[in-house]
Structure 1
Amino acid sequence: MDRGWLEPTRLRRTLAGLPLPKAADGRIVLAVDVSNWLRPDAPTIDDRLFCHVYGRGDRKTDQFVPGYSFVAALESGRTSWGALLDTVRLGPADDATLVTAAQLRDVLQRLTQAGHWRPGDPEILIVMDAGNDATYLAHPLADLPMTLLGRLRSDGVMLRDPGPTPSGQGGRPRRHGGVLAFAKPDSLHEPDVT
Protein backbone atom coordinates (compact mmCIF):
# COMPACT_ATOMS: atom_id res chain seq x y z
CA MET A 1 0.00 0.00 0.00
CA ASP A 2 2.89 2.37 0.65
CA ARG A 3 3.84 2.07 -3.04
CA GLY A 4 0.34 2.90 -4.31
CA TRP A 5 -0.92 -0.60 -5.17
CA LEU A 6 -2.61 -3.48 -3.43
CA GLU A 7 -3.01 -7.20 -4.09
CA PRO A 8 -6.51 -8.04 -2.74
CA THR A 9 -6.08 -11.84 -3.07
CA ARG A 10 -2.81 -11.79 -1.14
CA LEU A 11 -4.29 -9.46 1.51
CA ARG A 12 -7.29 -11.79 1.99
CA ARG A 13 -4.96 -14.80 2.44
CA THR A 14 -2.85 -12.84 4.92
CA LEU A 15 -5.90 -11.80 6.96
CA ALA A 16 -7.13 -15.42 7.09
CA GLY A 17 -3.70 -16.55 8.34
CA LEU A 18 -3.64 -14.17 11.33
CA PRO A 19 -4.67 -15.42 14.79
CA LEU A 20 -8.46 -15.80 14.77
CA PRO A 21 -10.75 -15.05 17.73
CA LYS A 22 -12.99 -17.97 18.72
CA ALA A 23 -15.89 -18.54 21.08
CA ALA A 24 -15.36 -20.17 24.49
CA ASP A 25 -16.15 -23.61 23.01
CA GLY A 26 -13.54 -23.15 20.25
CA ARG A 27 -16.10 -22.43 17.56
CA ILE A 28 -15.43 -19.78 14.92
CA VAL A 29 -18.16 -17.13 14.90
CA LEU A 30 -18.44 -14.95 11.82
CA ALA A 31 -20.65 -11.89 11.43
CA VAL A 32 -21.89 -10.88 7.99
CA ASP A 33 -23.46 -7.58 7.13
CA VAL A 34 -24.42 -5.66 4.05
CA SER A 35 -23.90 -2.10 5.03
CA ASN A 36 -23.32 1.31 3.62
CA TRP A 37 -20.00 3.11 3.59
CA LEU A 38 -20.65 6.53 5.00
CA ARG A 39 -18.51 9.01 3.16
CA PRO A 40 -19.86 12.40 2.08
CA ASP A 41 -18.38 12.08 -1.43
CA ALA A 42 -19.44 8.46 -2.01
CA PRO A 43 -22.76 9.17 -3.78
CA THR A 44 -20.84 10.62 -6.73
CA ILE A 45 -18.91 7.41 -7.50
CA ASP A 46 -20.21 5.28 -10.40
CA ASP A 47 -20.99 1.54 -10.43
CA ARG A 48 -22.00 1.15 -6.79
CA LEU A 49 -25.13 -0.25 -5.21
CA PHE A 50 -26.64 2.51 -3.11
CA CYS A 51 -28.18 1.97 0.32
CA HIS A 52 -30.65 4.45 1.78
CA VAL A 53 -29.57 6.16 5.02
CA TYR A 54 -31.16 9.01 6.92
CA GLY A 55 -29.59 11.72 9.03
CA ARG A 56 -25.94 10.98 8.24
CA GLY A 57 -23.23 13.20 6.85
CA ASP A 58 -23.05 16.97 6.86
CA ARG A 59 -26.57 17.61 5.63
CA LYS A 60 -28.45 15.41 8.13
CA THR A 61 -30.83 14.45 5.33
CA ASP A 62 -31.69 11.39 3.27
CA GLN A 63 -28.78 10.01 1.25
CA PHE A 64 -28.00 7.04 -0.92
CA VAL A 65 -24.48 5.72 -0.28
CA PRO A 66 -22.57 2.72 -1.67
CA GLY A 67 -23.14 -0.73 -0.22
CA TYR A 68 -20.52 -3.23 0.90
CA SER A 69 -20.66 -6.79 2.20
CA PHE A 70 -18.48 -7.43 5.28
CA VAL A 71 -17.35 -10.66 6.99
CA ALA A 72 -15.67 -10.45 10.40
CA ALA A 73 -14.67 -13.01 13.05
CA LEU A 74 -16.15 -12.16 16.46
CA GLU A 75 -14.63 -12.52 19.90
CA SER A 76 -16.66 -13.96 22.75
CA GLY A 77 -17.58 -11.99 25.83
CA ARG A 78 -18.53 -8.36 26.20
CA THR A 79 -15.87 -6.96 23.90
CA SER A 80 -16.81 -5.38 20.61
CA TRP A 81 -13.56 -6.35 18.89
CA GLY A 82 -13.67 -8.33 15.70
CA ALA A 83 -11.24 -9.40 13.00
CA LEU A 84 -12.30 -8.14 9.57
CA LEU A 85 -11.73 -10.96 7.08
CA ASP A 86 -13.31 -9.72 3.88
CA THR A 87 -15.10 -6.77 2.26
CA VAL A 88 -16.76 -6.76 -1.15
CA ARG A 89 -18.16 -3.69 -2.90
CA LEU A 90 -21.64 -4.33 -4.27
CA GLY A 91 -22.37 -3.36 -7.84
CA PRO A 92 -25.74 -2.03 -8.99
CA ALA A 93 -26.71 -5.36 -10.59
CA ASP A 94 -25.47 -7.57 -7.71
CA ASP A 95 -27.77 -9.70 -5.57
CA ALA A 96 -26.46 -8.97 -2.06
CA THR A 97 -27.39 -12.45 -0.78
CA LEU A 98 -25.58 -14.26 -3.59
CA VAL A 99 -22.54 -12.01 -3.14
CA THR A 100 -22.54 -12.81 0.60
CA ALA A 101 -22.87 -16.55 -0.12
CA ALA A 102 -19.88 -16.52 -2.49
CA GLN A 103 -17.96 -14.38 -0.01
CA LEU A 104 -18.62 -16.80 2.89
CA ARG A 105 -17.62 -19.76 0.71
CA ASP A 106 -14.31 -18.03 -0.12
CA VAL A 107 -13.67 -17.04 3.52
CA LEU A 108 -14.26 -20.62 4.71
CA GLN A 109 -11.85 -21.91 2.07
CA ARG A 110 -9.16 -19.47 3.22
CA LEU A 111 -9.75 -20.29 6.91
CA THR A 112 -9.47 -24.01 6.13
CA GLN A 113 -6.25 -23.48 4.14
CA ALA A 114 -4.84 -21.45 7.06
CA GLY A 115 -5.63 -24.33 9.48
CA HIS A 116 -8.25 -22.45 11.53
CA TRP A 117 -10.98 -24.99 10.71
CA ARG A 118 -10.60 -28.74 10.10
CA PRO A 119 -13.12 -31.52 9.47
CA GLY A 120 -14.42 -32.63 12.86
CA ASP A 121 -14.30 -29.12 14.35
CA PRO A 122 -17.59 -27.52 15.41
CA GLU A 123 -19.53 -25.92 12.59
CA ILE A 124 -18.81 -22.24 12.02
CA LEU A 125 -21.58 -20.02 13.35
CA ILE A 126 -22.65 -17.25 10.99
CA VAL A 127 -24.62 -14.43 12.64
CA MET A 128 -26.50 -11.77 10.71
CA ASP A 129 -29.05 -9.05 11.28
CA ALA A 130 -32.47 -8.65 9.70
CA GLY A 131 -30.93 -7.05 6.61
CA ASN A 132 -29.76 -10.47 5.41
CA ASP A 133 -32.21 -13.14 4.27
CA ALA A 134 -31.11 -16.19 6.30
CA THR A 135 -33.44 -18.61 4.50
CA TYR A 136 -32.28 -17.42 1.06
CA LEU A 137 -28.64 -17.59 2.18
CA ALA A 138 -29.02 -21.11 3.62
CA HIS A 139 -29.64 -22.74 0.23
CA PRO A 140 -26.35 -21.88 -1.56
CA LEU A 141 -24.38 -22.66 1.64
CA ALA A 142 -26.12 -25.95 2.50
CA ASP A 143 -23.02 -28.05 1.67
CA LEU A 144 -20.70 -26.08 4.00
CA PRO A 145 -20.04 -26.75 7.72
CA MET A 146 -21.90 -23.61 8.80
CA THR A 147 -24.84 -22.85 11.05
CA LEU A 148 -26.73 -19.67 10.14
CA LEU A 149 -28.32 -17.52 12.83
CA GLY A 150 -30.35 -14.57 11.58
CA ARG A 151 -32.62 -12.03 13.19
CA LEU A 152 -36.08 -11.80 11.67
CA ARG A 153 -37.73 -8.49 10.92
CA SER A 154 -40.49 -7.53 13.34
CA ASP A 155 -42.86 -6.85 10.43
CA GLY A 156 -42.14 -10.23 8.81
CA VAL A 157 -44.84 -12.70 7.80
CA MET A 158 -44.49 -16.46 7.36
CA LEU A 159 -46.94 -19.10 6.21
CA ARG A 160 -47.48 -22.29 8.16
CA ASP A 161 -47.43 -25.82 6.81
CA PRO A 162 -50.83 -26.63 5.30
CA GLY A 163 -50.99 -29.97 7.09
CA PRO A 164 -52.46 -33.12 5.58
CA THR A 165 -55.09 -32.80 2.85
CA PRO A 166 -58.51 -33.88 4.18
CA SER A 167 -59.71 -37.10 2.60
CA GLY A 168 -62.42 -36.71 0.00
CA GLN A 169 -61.43 -33.14 -0.81
CA GLY A 170 -61.02 -32.65 -4.54
CA GLY A 171 -58.83 -30.21 -6.38
CA ARG A 172 -55.29 -29.12 -5.91
CA PRO A 173 -53.86 -29.54 -2.39
CA ARG A 174 -53.20 -26.36 -0.42
CA ARG A 175 -49.63 -25.07 -0.60
CA HIS A 176 -49.72 -22.94 2.56
CA GLY A 177 -51.39 -22.95 5.93
CA GLY A 178 -52.31 -20.04 8.15
CA VAL A 179 -50.42 -16.76 8.43
CA LEU A 180 -47.86 -16.19 11.18
CA ALA A 181 -47.30 -12.43 11.51
CA PHE A 182 -44.61 -11.38 13.98
CA ALA A 183 -46.35 -8.08 14.71
CA LYS A 184 -49.60 -9.89 15.66
CA PRO A 185 -49.08 -12.02 18.78
CA ASP A 186 -52.54 -13.61 18.36
CA SER A 187 -51.29 -15.30 15.15
CA LEU A 188 -48.55 -17.12 17.10
CA HIS A 189 -49.06 -20.57 18.56
CA GLU A 190 -47.24 -22.36 21.33
CA PRO A 191 -44.14 -24.11 19.93
CA ASP A 192 -44.18 -27.89 19.62
CA VAL A 193 -40.74 -28.05 21.25
CA THR A 194 -39.30 -25.72 23.86
Structure 2
Amino acid sequence: MLCADGPVRSLVELSLVGEHRRGHGELYDALAAGRVDVTRMRRALATVPLPRAADGRLVLAADITCWLRPEAHTSPQRILCHTYGRGKDQHIPVPGWPYSIICALESGRSWWTAPLDALRLAPGDDATVTARQMHELIDRLMAAGQWTDGDPDVLIVVDAGYDVPRLAFLLEDLLVQVLGRMRSDRVLRRAAPPCGPAHDGPSTAPRRRVRLRRPGHVGHTLMPGQ
Protein backbone atom coordinates (compact mmCIF):
# COMPACT_ATOMS: atom_id res chain seq x y z
CA MET A 1 0.00 0.00 0.00
CA LEU A 2 2.92 2.39 0.67
CA CYS A 3 4.33 1.72 -2.81
CA ALA A 4 1.07 2.53 -4.62
CA ASP A 5 0.83 5.80 -6.57
CA GLY A 6 -2.42 6.77 -4.88
CA PRO A 7 -5.01 5.53 -2.41
CA VAL A 8 -5.82 1.81 -2.62
CA ARG A 9 -9.57 1.30 -2.77
CA SER A 10 -9.72 -2.42 -3.51
CA LEU A 11 -7.59 -5.54 -3.35
CA VAL A 12 -7.56 -5.76 -7.15
CA GLU A 13 -5.84 -2.35 -7.35
CA LEU A 14 -3.34 -3.48 -4.76
CA SER A 15 -2.43 -6.51 -6.86
CA LEU A 16 -1.50 -4.18 -9.75
CA VAL A 17 1.32 -2.54 -7.77
CA GLY A 18 4.73 -3.60 -9.10
CA GLU A 19 5.95 -4.69 -5.67
CA HIS A 20 2.99 -7.06 -5.31
CA ARG A 21 4.26 -10.39 -6.66
CA ARG A 22 1.06 -12.44 -6.37
CA GLY A 23 -2.28 -12.44 -8.15
CA HIS A 24 -5.40 -10.87 -6.76
CA GLY A 25 -6.98 -14.32 -6.37
CA GLU A 26 -4.42 -15.27 -3.73
CA LEU A 27 -5.17 -12.00 -1.95
CA TYR A 28 -8.80 -13.01 -1.54
CA ASP A 29 -7.76 -16.51 -0.44
CA ALA A 30 -5.57 -15.05 2.27
CA LEU A 31 -8.33 -12.69 3.39
CA ALA A 32 -10.84 -15.55 3.58
CA ALA A 33 -8.41 -17.69 5.61
CA GLY A 34 -7.49 -14.85 7.96
CA ARG A 35 -9.05 -14.39 11.37
CA VAL A 36 -9.36 -11.46 13.74
CA ASP A 37 -8.72 -12.11 17.43
CA VAL A 38 -11.67 -10.11 18.76
CA THR A 39 -10.70 -10.47 22.42
CA ARG A 40 -7.16 -9.25 21.78
CA MET A 41 -8.45 -6.37 19.66
CA ARG A 42 -10.82 -5.25 22.42
CA ARG A 43 -7.99 -5.27 24.94
CA ALA A 44 -5.81 -3.27 22.55
CA LEU A 45 -8.52 -0.62 22.04
CA ALA A 46 -8.82 -0.22 25.81
CA THR A 47 -5.12 0.70 26.11
CA VAL A 48 -4.94 3.53 23.55
CA PRO A 49 -5.15 7.17 24.75
CA LEU A 50 -8.84 8.03 24.99
CA PRO A 51 -10.61 11.38 24.55
CA ARG A 52 -12.03 12.82 27.75
CA ALA A 53 -14.39 15.55 28.86
CA ALA A 54 -13.24 18.97 30.05
CA ASP A 55 -13.11 17.77 33.68
CA GLY A 56 -11.00 14.75 32.74
CA ARG A 57 -13.69 12.11 33.13
CA LEU A 58 -14.43 9.33 30.68
CA VAL A 59 -17.64 9.76 28.70
CA LEU A 60 -18.96 6.61 27.02
CA ALA A 61 -21.81 6.83 24.51
CA ALA A 62 -23.85 3.77 23.54
CA ASP A 63 -26.01 3.62 20.45
CA ILE A 64 -27.27 1.13 17.90
CA THR A 65 -26.20 1.20 14.26
CA CYS A 66 -27.92 -1.11 11.78
CA TRP A 67 -26.29 -2.89 8.87
CA LEU A 68 -29.23 -3.23 6.51
CA ARG A 69 -29.47 -6.60 4.76
CA PRO A 70 -32.83 -6.51 2.93
CA GLU A 71 -31.78 -8.92 0.17
CA ALA A 72 -29.83 -11.38 2.36
CA HIS A 73 -32.71 -13.79 2.91
CA THR A 74 -30.43 -16.57 4.14
CA SER A 75 -28.53 -14.44 6.66
CA PRO A 76 -29.32 -15.60 10.20
CA GLN A 77 -30.81 -13.51 13.02
CA ARG A 78 -31.92 -10.53 10.97
CA ILE A 79 -34.10 -7.97 12.77
CA LEU A 80 -36.44 -5.33 11.38
CA CYS A 81 -34.48 -2.06 11.71
CA HIS A 82 -36.31 1.25 11.69
CA THR A 83 -35.00 3.59 9.00
CA TYR A 84 -35.99 7.07 7.87
CA GLY A 85 -35.68 8.70 4.48
CA ARG A 86 -36.14 5.57 2.38
CA GLY A 87 -39.04 5.79 -0.03
CA LYS A 88 -41.34 8.72 0.80
CA ASP A 89 -39.48 10.02 3.87
CA GLN A 90 -41.22 7.56 6.13
CA HIS A 91 -40.13 5.24 8.92
CA ILE A 92 -39.78 1.92 7.11
CA PRO A 93 -38.61 -1.28 8.86
CA VAL A 94 -35.86 -2.97 6.86
CA PRO A 95 -34.30 -6.35 7.77
CA GLY A 96 -30.72 -6.05 8.96
CA TRP A 97 -28.21 -6.62 11.72
CA PRO A 98 -28.23 -4.10 14.59
CA TYR A 99 -24.91 -3.46 16.32
CA SER A 100 -24.53 -1.98 19.79
CA ILE A 101 -21.53 0.37 19.53
CA ILE A 102 -19.80 2.11 22.46
CA CYS A 103 -17.52 5.09 21.83
CA ALA A 104 -15.55 7.46 24.03
CA LEU A 105 -16.48 11.13 23.60
CA GLU A 106 -14.64 14.38 24.20
CA SER A 107 -15.86 17.92 24.78
CA GLY A 108 -14.97 20.89 22.63
CA ARG A 109 -15.39 21.84 19.00
CA SER A 110 -13.78 18.75 17.44
CA TRP A 111 -16.18 16.10 18.77
CA TRP A 112 -13.90 13.20 17.85
CA THR A 113 -15.04 9.79 19.00
CA ALA A 114 -13.03 6.65 19.77
CA PRO A 115 -14.90 3.38 19.00
CA LEU A 116 -14.17 0.90 21.78
CA ASP A 117 -16.58 -1.99 21.33
CA ALA A 118 -19.20 -3.37 18.94
CA LEU A 119 -21.63 -6.20 19.57
CA ARG A 120 -24.20 -7.59 17.18
CA LEU A 121 -27.61 -7.89 18.80
CA ALA A 122 -29.76 -10.97 18.42
CA PRO A 123 -33.58 -11.08 18.34
CA GLY A 124 -34.95 -10.61 21.85
CA ASP A 125 -31.93 -8.78 23.29
CA ASP A 126 -32.75 -5.91 25.67
CA ALA A 127 -30.97 -3.52 28.04
CA THR A 128 -29.39 -6.46 29.85
CA VAL A 129 -27.10 -7.10 26.87
CA THR A 130 -26.04 -3.44 26.72
CA ALA A 131 -25.36 -3.44 30.47
CA ARG A 132 -23.21 -6.57 30.19
CA GLN A 133 -21.32 -5.05 27.27
CA MET A 134 -20.71 -1.87 29.30
CA HIS A 135 -19.60 -3.94 32.30
CA GLU A 136 -17.00 -5.81 30.27
CA LEU A 137 -15.71 -2.62 28.63
CA ILE A 138 -15.29 -0.77 31.93
CA ASP A 139 -13.48 -3.78 33.38
CA ARG A 140 -11.02 -3.64 30.46
CA LEU A 141 -10.56 0.11 30.89
CA MET A 142 -9.82 -0.35 34.58
CA ALA A 143 -7.37 -3.15 33.85
CA ALA A 144 -5.62 -0.86 31.33
CA GLY A 145 -5.32 1.95 33.89
CA GLN A 146 -7.78 4.26 32.13
CA TRP A 147 -9.78 4.64 35.35
CA THR A 148 -8.45 4.36 38.93
CA ASP A 149 -9.78 5.04 42.41
CA GLY A 150 -10.36 8.74 42.97
CA ASP A 151 -11.17 9.52 39.34
CA PRO A 152 -14.57 11.06 38.51
CA ASP A 153 -17.37 8.64 37.82
CA VAL A 154 -17.64 7.44 34.23
CA LEU A 155 -20.49 9.22 32.44
CA ILE A 156 -22.61 6.98 30.20
CA VAL A 157 -24.69 8.79 27.58
CA VAL A 158 -27.58 7.08 25.76
CA ASP A 159 -30.39 8.15 23.47
CA ALA A 160 -34.14 8.07 23.99
CA GLY A 161 -34.36 4.54 22.63
CA TYR A 162 -32.85 3.13 25.82
CA ASP A 163 -34.67 2.42 29.07
CA VAL A 164 -32.53 4.71 31.24
CA PRO A 165 -33.90 3.65 34.67
CA ARG A 166 -33.46 -0.02 33.78
CA LEU A 167 -29.92 0.57 32.50
CA ALA A 168 -28.99 2.54 35.64
CA PHE A 169 -30.35 -0.28 37.81
CA LEU A 170 -28.26 -2.88 35.97
CA LEU A 171 -25.11 -0.74 36.34
CA GLU A 172 -25.61 0.18 40.00
CA ASP A 173 -22.51 -1.76 41.11
CA LEU A 174 -20.23 0.45 38.98
CA LEU A 175 -19.04 3.99 39.72
CA VAL A 176 -20.89 5.44 36.75
CA GLN A 177 -23.52 8.07 36.05
CA VAL A 178 -26.14 7.42 33.37
CA LEU A 179 -27.44 10.35 31.32
CA GLY A 180 -30.21 9.67 28.82
CA ARG A 181 -32.65 11.61 26.69
CA MET A 182 -36.26 10.78 27.50
CA ARG A 183 -39.16 10.58 25.09
CA SER A 184 -41.61 13.46 25.18
CA ASP A 185 -44.49 11.06 25.89
CA ARG A 186 -42.76 9.26 28.77
CA VAL A 187 -44.81 9.24 31.99
CA LEU A 188 -43.26 8.99 35.46
CA ARG A 189 -45.21 8.04 38.56
CA ARG A 190 -44.32 8.61 42.18
CA ALA A 191 -45.21 6.31 45.07
CA ALA A 192 -48.54 7.05 46.72
CA PRO A 193 -48.18 9.02 50.00
CA PRO A 194 -49.06 7.15 53.21
CA CYS A 195 -52.57 7.61 54.55
CA GLY A 196 -52.93 9.71 57.68
CA PRO A 197 -55.02 8.89 60.79
CA ALA A 198 -57.99 10.78 59.39
CA HIS A 199 -58.06 8.61 56.28
CA ASP A 200 -57.84 5.14 57.80
CA GLY A 201 -61.44 4.41 56.97
CA PRO A 202 -62.96 3.90 53.53
CA SER A 203 -62.48 6.80 51.20
CA THR A 204 -65.50 8.92 50.32
CA ALA A 205 -63.84 10.62 47.37
CA PRO A 206 -65.36 9.83 43.98
CA ARG A 207 -63.53 7.17 42.04
CA ARG A 208 -61.88 8.34 38.84
CA ARG A 209 -60.78 6.40 35.84
CA VAL A 210 -57.25 7.12 34.60
CA ARG A 211 -56.16 6.28 31.08
CA LEU A 212 -52.52 5.22 30.95
CA ARG A 213 -50.64 4.70 27.73
CA ARG A 214 -47.16 3.46 26.97
CA PRO A 215 -45.46 3.93 23.58
CA GLY A 216 -46.36 1.03 21.33
CA HIS A 217 -48.74 -0.54 23.87
CA VAL A 218 -52.51 -0.60 24.21
CA GLY A 219 -53.84 1.69 26.93
CA HIS A 220 -55.12 0.20 30.20
CA THR A 221 -57.86 1.57 32.43
CA LEU A 222 -56.88 1.52 36.11
CA MET A 223 -58.93 2.33 39.17
CA PRO A 224 -57.42 4.09 42.23
CA GLY A 225 -55.57 1.59 44.36
CA GLN A 226 -54.72 -0.71 41.48
- TM score, norm. by length of structure 1: 0.78
Contact 1:53 1:64 in 2 (8 A): no
Give the structure with higher Rg (CA): 2
Match of 2:115 among 77, 84, 97: 84
* Consecutive unaligned residues in structure 1, runs of 5 or more: 172-177, 182-194
Contact 1:34 1:132 in 2 (8 A): no
Query: Cα gap change, 1:45/1:77 in structure 2, threshold over 3 Å: closer, same or farther?
Result: same
Partner of 2:146: 116
How far residue 139 of structure 1 moved from its aligned partner, in angstroms, is 1.1
* TM alignment of 1:1-194, pairs within 5 A: 4-38=34-68, 41=71, 45-56=75-86, 62=92, 63-95=94-126, 97-167=127-197, 168-170=199-201
2:114 maps to a residue whose letter is: A
Query: Cα gap change, 1:170/1:61 in structure 2, threshold over 3 Å: closer, same or farther?
Result: closer
Identity %: 49
Contact 1:35 1:51 in 2 (8 A): no
Query: Cα gap change, 1:13/1:42 in structure 2, threshold over 3 Å: closer, same or farther?
Result: farther
Contact 2:153 2:175 in 1 (8 A): yes
Partner of 2:221: none
1:74 maps to a residue whose letter is: L
Contact 2:156 2:176 in 1 (8 A): yes
How far residue 92 of structure 1 moved from its aligned partner, in angstroms, is 1.1
2:113 maps to a residue whose letter is: G
1:12 maps to a residue whose letter is: R
Q: Taking CA–CA contacts closer than 8 Å with sequence separation of 6 or more, which of the two structures ends up with the larger relative contact order? A: 1
How far residue 8 of structure 1 moved from its aligned partner, in angstroms, is 0.7
Q: How far, CA to CA, are the matches of 1:146 and 1:10 in structure 2?
A: 25
CA RMSD of aligned residues (A): 2.9
* Consecutive unaligned residues in structure 2, runs of 5 or more: 1-29, 203-209, 214-226
How far residue 44 of structure 1 moved from its aligned partner, in angstroms, is 5.2
How many pairs were matched up?
Answer: 173
Query: Cα gap change, 1:163/1:43 in structure 2, threshold over 3 Å: closer, same or farther?
Result: farther
Query: Cα gap change, 1:91/1:150 in structure 2, threshold over 3 Å: closer, same or farther?
Result: same
Query: Cα gap change, 1:26/1:77 in structure 2, threshold over 3 Å: closer, same or farther?
Result: same
Q: How far, CA to CA, are the matches of 1:110 and 1:73 in structure 2?
A: 14
Q: How far, CA to CA, are the matches of 1:80 and 1:39 in structure 2?
A: 30
Q: How far, CA to CA, are the matches of 1:13 and 1:122 in structure 2?
A: 22
Contact 1:159 1:179 in 2 (8 A): no
How far residue 179 of structure 1 moved from its aligned partner, in angstroms, is 9.7
